[in-house]
Every structure is written in structure tokens, then in C-alpha cells.
């Protein structure tokens, strides 16, 4: 415990916690999208349990650091590329994210309901609570590997890593419900979030093939797009400002 109270340890803890929160943005977005398919009274529960699943996976992987690092060794070679266990996990996770996100975008564009031959109108993309948690758990495995490898690269002490992961998880739990409500109440933001997940899925596949694309580019592009969308939303709420802007452009 004393090791966590030194100045260097506290700085490392704060830095790693902030980084874990940033790396957890894509996780929160995915959990928000999945939980958004559930009834309103189950969404917060799914979000919180999804983040707790992520926390348990990260802690478990931190206690198996040597095994995680060992996953970097090549297991097989295909098309001239060596694939390690980590590469295969990233590839599977990236393809799963691309498939599920593309399917969700298709549902949003085509409409969430589809009349069946019997005359009923079931909701398309409907999800049970258990299925939502399974999807969240599967993708959290991929996000957890990324998070743990980042922690290993920054900090040597496992207790500091665990403390940072726990702190970042509870920070995300505190804001997950508000983020989820905001995304679900604004269709354009939801499409933007889905586009961000497509980008993350593409990055995971590229990384599996050893093409390192800094995620900072993706986060910057998302932040810029989000800022532009907020300005559009503000402009839509202010018709007079919209007219003035139109007059200035013309």
C-alpha cells in the first residue's frame, strides 16, 4: 500500500487512469449502442454490468501479464504475414465490430421495424438482456487486451495498474448513463458513434496485419466530427442564427 502513496506512483496512477478513460471511449460507445436496443429500464443496468465485465477482464489479464505478452509470438503465417495470438484476437474482434456496426447502421437507415407475413411488426435488431451482455463481454476481451498492453508499457507495478483500471471504470460508470441517453436521443450522434466504431474495427484489422495506425488520429477525427455535429445541433435549435448564417454564406 505504501508503494502507491509515493509521488511517482501517484503520478503514474493519474496518468494511466486518464489514458484508460480515453481508451475506454470506444468501449463506452459500443456498450451504449448495444444497450440502446434494450428496454429503457434495462439500459443502465446493461451499461453498468458491461463496464464491470470489462473491469474483471482487465484485472484478470493483469494477473496474467506474462501470458498476455507471450501472445505477441507468431503462431502461424498466412499470405506472408506472421500472426500471433494477439493478432488473431484483434482480427476476430475487428471483423466482429465491422459486422455488428454495419448491421446496426443498415437497421438505422432501413428502419427499425419490418412487417412480417403474419401482420406483426417486431422491432428489428431487438436484443435480450443476456444477448447484450454476451456481445459486450466478447468485444471487451479485445478492448481489454489493448488496455492491458498499454498499462504494461507505462507502468511496471501491477497494483498501480489495477488501481488505475478500477478508478477509470468507476469514472466511466458515472458518465455512461448520461452518454447513453444523449446518444440514444440524438439519431445523428448515434450514426456518428457507429461510424467511429467502424473506424475502430478497421484499425483493429489493420493492426492484426501489422499496420500500425496511431489511434490518436481516429480520436481526433471523432472529436472534430462531434464538435461540428454539436454546432449543427445548436444551429438547428436557433432558426434566426441559421437564417443569418445562410445569408452570410450567400
Residue 150: per-residue pLDDT: 65
CA torsion 81-87-89-93 (nearest 10°) is: -80
Same domain, 177 and 245: no
Residue 248: per-residue pLDDT: 54
Strand, coil or helix: what is 77?
A: strand
Handedness of CA 86, 89, 91, 93 (dihedral sign): negative
What mean pLDDT is predicted for residues 85-111? 81
Distance CA 98, CA 247 (A): 41
Same domain, 90 and 184: yes
Domain total in the chain: 2
Same domain, 147 and 222: no
Distance CA 16, CA 24 (A): 12
Per-residue pLDDT reduced to its tens digit, 22-54: 777 777 888 888 888 888 888 888 888 888 888
CA 113 to chain CA centroid, Å, is: 26
Mean pLDDT computed over every residue of the chain: 76
Same domain, 238 and 144: no
Is residue 89's pLDDT more than 50?
yes
Is residue 107's pLDDT more than 70?
yes
Same domain, 151 and 122: yes
Strand, coil or helix: what is 103?
A: helix
Same domain, 208 and 222: no
Same domain, 193 and 131: yes
User: Helix 25-35 vs helix 129-154: angle between axes, to the nearest 10 degrees?
Assistant: 180
Same domain, 158 and 228: no
Q: Which of 200, 226, 195 is nearest to 213 (CA)?
A: 200
Is residue 202's pLDDT more than 60?
yes
Same domain, 95 and 146: yes
Confidence of residue 121 (pLDDT cuts 50, 70, 90): very low
Per-residue pLDDT reduced to its tens digit, 220-234: 888 888 888 888 888
Domain that holds residue 115: 2-213
Residue 116: per-residue pLDDT: 40
Same domain, 19 and 50: yes
Same domain, 177 and 222: no
Same domain, 228 and 209: no
Dump the DSSP string for 112-181.
SB---TTS--PBTT---HHHHHHHHHHHHHHHHHHHHHHHHHH---HHHHHHHHHHHHHHHHHHHHHHHH
Amino acid at each position: 500500500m505504501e508503494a502507491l502513496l509515493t509521488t511517482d506512483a501517484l503520478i503514474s496512477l493519474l496518468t494511466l487512469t486518464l489514458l484508460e478513460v480515453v481508451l475506454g471511449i470506444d468501449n463506452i460507445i459500443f456498450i451504449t449502442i448495444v444497450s440502446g436496443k434494450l428496454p429503457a429500464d434495462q439500459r443502465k443496468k446493461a451499461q453498468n454490468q458491461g463496464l464491470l465485465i470489462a473491469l474483471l477482464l482487465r484485472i484478470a489479464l493483469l494477473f496474467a501479464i506474462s501470458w498476455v505478452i507471450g501472445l505477441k509470438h507468431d503462431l502461424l503465417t498466412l499470405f506472408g504475414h506472421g500472426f500471433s495470438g494477439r493478432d488473431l484476437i484483434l482480427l476476430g474482434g475487428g471483423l466482429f465490430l465491422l459486422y455488428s456496426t454495419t448491421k446496426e447502421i443498415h437497421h438505422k437507415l432501413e428502419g427499425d421495424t419490418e412487417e412480417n407475413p403474419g401482420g406483426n411488426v417486431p422491432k428489428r435488431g431487438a436484443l435480450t438482456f443476456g444477448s447484450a451482455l454476451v456481445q459486450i463481454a466478447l468485444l471487451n476481451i479485445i478492448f481489454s487486451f489493448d488496455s492491458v498492453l498499454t498499462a504494461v508499457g507505462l507502468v511496471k507495478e501491477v497494483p498501480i495498474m489495477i488501481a488505475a483500471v478500477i478508478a477509470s471504470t468507476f469514472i466511466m460508470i458515472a458518465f455512461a448513463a448520461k452518454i447513453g441517453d444523449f446518444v440514444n436521443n440524438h439519431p445523428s450522434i448515434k450514426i456518428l458513434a457507429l461510424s467511429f466504431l467502424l473506424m475502430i474495427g478497421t484499425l483493429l484489422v489493420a493492426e492484426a496485419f501489422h499496420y500500425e495506425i496511431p489511434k490518436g488520429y481516429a480520436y481526433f477525427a471523432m472529436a472534430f466530427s462531434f464538435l461540428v455535429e454539436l454546432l449543427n445541433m445548436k444551429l438547428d435549435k436557433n432558426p434566426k442564427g441559421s437564417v443569418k448564417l445562410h445569408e452570410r454564406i450567400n
